[in-house]
Amino acid sequence: VFDLPPPLAYRGEQARDIEGINAWFATWRNGVTVHMADPQLMIDGDLAVAFGLSRMTGIKTDGTKVDSWSRRTIVLRRIAGSWKIIHEHASFPMAMDGSGRAVTDLLP
């Protein structure tokens, strides 16, 4: 998994960190909504890719409102008749001004 928070990559059991995911969900007041708008799909046999822009909305437990768009790619493989996510990538564009800052306030 190439996700938004560090490290650069989550591999193996680290990518399936249920405790960490539950801790992240606990930082939201009434849950979080993530919606992929107009996903592009490519399917070839037992391999599929979905990619597009993803919108995350919700209210953090400290009252901070979140409404941000990011880029998302999900790769799936059909294993024993069921589709399983085998890779995910989420990212924000980076400001090219030398600040190293992620640009999180862009709209499609």
13/21 Cα distance (integer angstroms)? 12
In this predicted structure, what is the pLDDT of residue 107? 94
Please state which architecture CATH assigns to domain 12-91: Roll (3.10)
Against a cut of 0.75, is the pTM above it?
A: yes
10/21 Cα distance (integer angstroms)? 13
Domain ranges in the chain are 12-91
pLDDT digits (tens, 9 = 90+) for 38-85: 999 999 999 999 999 999 999 999 999 999 999 999 999 999 999 999
52/11 Cα distance (integer angstroms)? 23
Q: In which element (H, E) is residue 82 found?
A: strand 82-91
Please work out, in degrees rounded to the nearest 5, the angle formed at the alpha carbon of residue 61 by the alpha carbons of 56 and 62: 105
67/57 Cα distance (integer angstroms)? 4
33/18 Cα distance (integer angstroms)? 18
